[in-house]
Structure 1
Amino acid sequence: MRHVALMVASLALGQILLPLAAFSKAPALSQAAGTYEVSGTSQIRFSVDQIGGGGINGRFTKFSGRFRIDGRRIDASTISFTLYPQSVSTQERRMEDFLRSSAVFDADAYPTVTFRSTAVRQTGDDTAVVDGMLTARGITHREQFSVRLQGFNRNDIAFNVTGNVYRSRYRMDVGTPIYLNVVKFDMDIRGVRQ
């Protein structure tokens, strides 16, 4: 039986608030087929390591997205995701202001970061890889995210999505090499069937 593997989006980041005990694992692709909205209960987390330990840990509290799982071919599925840099949260006001500033996200000039899938490839019963175009600060590059199915029921589906993005590609490399160039995303994405 063919299994569904993925969906995001990245683009990318706590716990899924729906109890995963209510989900079944690895549904048939035809069961999971449909269009899903990314729920506000999803968690979009990121981290940037620092030489010598520590670093920046944060999350985005405002985002939106939609994905469509094709019932016959996983590779025909699509994902679109938007996050809003003004919503960045690190529990440190000074750091949040810095990340929103023109040195990093330049959130006033570029209020969104977007991801649009270009390819979805199933890699296991409950895993997939998603390639797509990430746009931040008006710059677009191809990025890749790994997706693992966490659970599924009739109306909801949950994934963990991880990926590394080089911030220098988007002119956000202030602070290197003290802060590493890689931004690590770890996202728990819940989709609600439409």
Structure 2
Amino acid sequence: MTLATTTIPGYLAGTWSIDPTHSDISFSVRHMMVSKVKGRFGSFSGTIVTGATPAQSSVTAEIDLNSIDTNNAQRDNHIRSADFFEVEKYPTMTFRSTSVDSDGEDYLVTGDLNLKGITKSVTLKLELNGIGPDAYGGTRAGFSASTEISRKEFGVDIDMPMDGGGVVIGDKISIALEIEAVLDAA
């Protein structure tokens, strides 16, 4: 089922650029089997193309893996190393949508996520937060999205066992996006 565009206040077909100053891409991962470490990426870009209907829309994004920030420089440098992202060889992570489907009032955006040269299909649960004018004469749209991936499926397969069982770093990575996009001038 596809929602008609008339049910989405302010919906406009067009090309939108992600505003990195007003957006956030963050993640969390289980640490030492007892807590979660959170981090974010400070440098990314992307384009959203809204079609005549939401199902005809698409998104592409690129994340600079060097921009990782977990609030600990030593850990960040380790994550950039060959043990994790291997940023000298694979400096970016990319996403290219392949479909947009409705999920009640929200959407499921499925696409190809590429990390460390490995591409896997990933589905983001997406909420359209709103569309409206900005203070500069333009139009903005806001989105929240989330998904979970297995780091091992993307070649980030370091295992650091703990004495007594368990591992230092969990396999499942929760990803959260808060995206604000600006409609490109025609």
- TM-score band by shorter chain is 0.7 to 0.9
Distance, in Å, in 2 between the alignment partners of 1:27 and 1:175 is 48
Equivalent of 2:171, from 163, 168, 181?
181
Residue pair 1:55, 1:179 contacting (<8 A) in 2 also:
no
Give the structure with the larger strand fraction: 2
Q: Report the counterpart of residue 29 of structure 2 in structure 1.
A: 48
Q: Report the counterpart of residue 62 of structure 2 in structure 1.
A: 82
Equivalent of 2:49, from 57, 65, 68?
68
Distance, in Å, in 2 between the alignment partners of 1:115 and 1:34 is 19
- TM-score when normalising by structure 2: 0.85
Q: Report the counterpart of residue 193 of structure 1 in structure 2.
A: 183
Which residue identity lines up with residue 151 of structure 1 in the other structure? Answer: G
Residue pair 2:143, 2:178 contacting (<8 A) in 1 also:
yes
Distance, in Å, in 2 between the alignment partners of 1:180 and 1:39 is 31
Give the total of aligned pairs: 170
1:138 aligns with 2:128: no
* Regions of 4+ moved over 6 Å: none
Distance, in Å, in 1 between the alignment partners of 2:13 and 2:101 is 16
| Aligned-pair CA distance for 1:49 | 1.1
Which residue identity lines up with residue 38 of structure 1 in the other structure? Answer: I
Q: Partner of 2:109: helix, strand, or coil?
A: strand
Identity %, equivalent residues: 26
Residue pair 1:65, 1:81 contacting (<8 A) in 2 also:
yes
Q: Report the counterpart of residue 27 of structure 1 in structure 2.
A: 9
Q: Deviations over 1:7-49 (max 9, x none)?
A: xxxxxxxxxxxxxxxxxx9426xx3211100001201110001
- TM-score when normalising by structure 1: 0.82
- Higher relative contact order, structure no. (Cα contacts within 8 Å, ≥ 6 residues apart): 1
Structure 2 residue ranges without an equivalent (≥5): 134-138, 161-166
Q: Report the counterpart of residue 122 of structure 1 in structure 2.
A: 102
Equivalent of 1:109, from 85, 89, 94?
89
Residue pair 2:48, 2:57 contacting (<8 A) in 1 also:
yes
